[in-house]
Amino acid sequence: MGLILKILIYLYLCAGVLSIHEMPWLPCQFTDENVFVNKEGHTETQLIQREAMVQFGQKGDAPINPHAITFLITGSKLDLRRYVEEVEAEQLECELRRYSTMGIYVRWPVQGAQNYNEWFSCTIKHSKRLFTVTGFLRHPSDQPPPGEQDYRSWRAIGDREILTTTVAMVIKTLTPSVKAGLSSQQKLHCQFALDHKGPNVTVDWHWQHRGERTRLFSHTSRSGQTHGTGVGLKSLAGGDASYTLPFTKMSSEGTYVCSVSVNPLLASLDMQLHIEEPPRVSINIGPKLSLQEGEDQKVVCDAESYFPLDVEIVWYVQDPAVSGQRVGAPLPKVLPNVLLSSHKHNQDKTYSVSAFFYLQASLRDSGRQFICSVSHQSLRVPIKKSFILTVEEPSSWLFNLTVGVVVVTLLAILYVMLQYLHSAKKKSVQKKPY
């Protein structure tokens, strides 16, 4: 049994199904920049996609791919791989970029650091948007920064160059995209870490939507000044800058930006909050409807208080006896001539709409099930409401007329007899001598 287990583990590793913690490298795309002044005198930026590798190891290690640019990340207090969830490497998207300090020069306060550094950002995203991690890579340099517009005179990087770096700062979110219902509490995750203690850190949260930008929270560690609420100061001291939105409204939708600033670095992550409110579905018919043949009934399916706008309502009919069959059951028949009302815009900015049709009772439809199915992006499966129709044969009009004539005749006879008895009794009283 132990031998079989060892063979399976060996095959598993040989298949290349390794988590990021086990892999010594990660393919990455290096988005290089060429900033120049065009013929009209305007500044343009040309983005150049270059093949690169992020390789974890020690200074002097040989590159795994000698034909690509190698960003060799050597050991430091921060291990970038620790901030990536245990997923397979093919689920990760990696991008490298140069980072401009905009002329800000600060000697990075770690032991053995040189006076000057080149900075790069390494962003790793999950392909299904489960998380985003950005690490700042410090590459020691003996050249002072060129000034405020350092991006105009970045040094060239060779196609096979090896850049030995260390991770100086990491920022991560587990909520790059959030879907929330109305009146719910949402926690937007943001955590950060640095490779040294006691830095002067400024944490900011902003909300952006349709050109509007609002500051929600700000805290500076050196001065201790805090503006706004939503972030716990105790957790902030441990690197947890998560923001809590206590009560979501329609106006809560937008982009939330978590920013962490430690000179000369400014890291920020965008988090998209989307409001999705599922519809409340109802029909104006009970679970059973009885009609006489030929009788008409307006049947309405209401989808109320949903967001965003797009919703699909389908009426169809089926035999309930075969609805539970998985194989060989006929498909439900979509009803024609279903009408939609115009969308109603509610006060809370949600929407409502109705789908209705006029049902003319027919004996062939007796016992069938009529189903309203409502689909919306906030729902995993459609909401369904249904009723079963029972159709009865109409009673004969001649029988009804006969019964009516008989009843009227009997009432008339009874009336005449009562009048006769009353008159006879009255005459009998008048003839008595006393």
pLDDT by 10s per residue, the chain, length 434: 334 333 333 333 344 444 455 678 999 999 999 888 888 888 888 999 999 999 999 999 999 999 999 999 998 889 999 998 777 888 999 999 999 988 888 888 887 666 789 999 999 999 999 999 999 999 998 877 776 677 888 889 999 999 999 999 999 999 999 999 999 999 999 999 999 988 899 999 999 999 999 999 999 999 999 999 999 999 999 999 999 999 999 999 999 999 999 999 999 999 999 999 999 999 999 999 999 999 999 999 999 999 999 999 999 999 887 665 666 567 889 999 999 999 999 998 999 999 999 999 999 999 999 999 999 999 999 999 999 999 998 765 555 666 677 888 888 788 778 777 777 776 666 555 54
- Using alpha carbons only, what angle is made at residue 237 by residues 232 and 238, rounded to the nearest 5 degrees? 100
Contact 47, 29 (CB under 8 A): no
Same domain, 19 and 81: yes
In a domain, 366, yes or no: yes
Both 357 and 292 in one domain: the answer is yes
Instruction: Identify whether residues 258 and 301 lie together within a single domain.
Output: no
Q: d(Cα 342, Cα 337) in Å, to the nearest integer?
A: 16
125 and 160 co-located in one domain: yes
321 in the same domain as 212: no
Give SS3 for 391. strand
The helix or strand, by DSSP H or E, that contains position 180, with its residue range, turns out to be strand 177-180
Say which CATH number the domain at 330 has.
2.60.40.10
Residues 24, 64, single domain; the answer is yes
Which of these three, 358, 376, 392, is where a domain ends? 392
Distance CA 315, CA 355 (A): 8
Residue 429: CB atoms within 10 Å:
7
Domain presence at residue 347? yes
Does residue 44 form part of some domain? yes
* Distance of alpha carbon 292 from alpha carbon 402, whole angstroms: 21
Supply the pLDDT for residue 12.
35
Q: Are 108 and 240 within one domain?
A: no
Are 85 and 133 contacting, i.e. CB atoms less than 8 angstroms apart?
no
Kindly state whether residue 149 falls inside one of the protein's structural domains: yes
Number of domains in the chain: 3
pLDDT at 14: 40
Residue 348: other Cβ atoms inside 10 A: 12
Residue 122 exposure: Cα atoms within 13 Å on the Cβ side: 29
Residue 127 and residue 51 in one domain: yes
Return the closest-CA partner of residue 257 out of 187, 193, 204, 195: 204
pLDDT for 116 equals: 86
Residue 3 is given by DSSP the state H
User: What are the CA-CA distances from residue 348 to residues 182, 186, 278 (Å)?
Assistant: 10, 19, 14
pLDDT of residue 8: 31
> 418 lies in a domain?
no
The model carries a pTM of 0.79
Choose the final residue of a domain: 130, 149, 168. Answer: 168
Instruction: Kindly state the helix (H) or strand (E) to which residue 423 belongs, with its residue range.
Output: helix 397-431
DSSP 426: H
Residues 83 and 29 reside in one and the same domain: yes
pLDDT at 419: 76
Q: Which residues share a beta bridge with 180?
A: 275
What does the alpha-carbon distance between residue 242 and residue 189 come to, in Å, rounded to a whole number? Answer: 4
Out of 141, 168, 195, pick the residue that ends a domain.
168
**Residue 376 dihedral angles phi and psi, to the nearest 5°:** -155, 150
For position 429, what pLDDT does the model report? 60
DSSP letter for 248, please. Answer: -
pLDDT at 399: 55
Same domain, 31 and 133: yes
184 and 153 co-located in one domain: no
With respect to residue 96, please indicate whether it lies within any of the assigned structural domains. yes
290 lies in the same domain as 373: yes
Provide the domain limits for residue 252: 174-275
Among 220, 216, 195, which residue's Cα sits nearest to residue 205?
216
Residue 10 lies in a domain: no
Asked if residue 135 lies in contact with residue 54, where contact means CB atoms within 8 angstroms, the answer is no
Strand (E) or helix (H) holding 13: helix 2-14
Question: Which residue, among 224, 220, 180, has the nearest Cα to 203 in the 3D structure?
Answer: 220
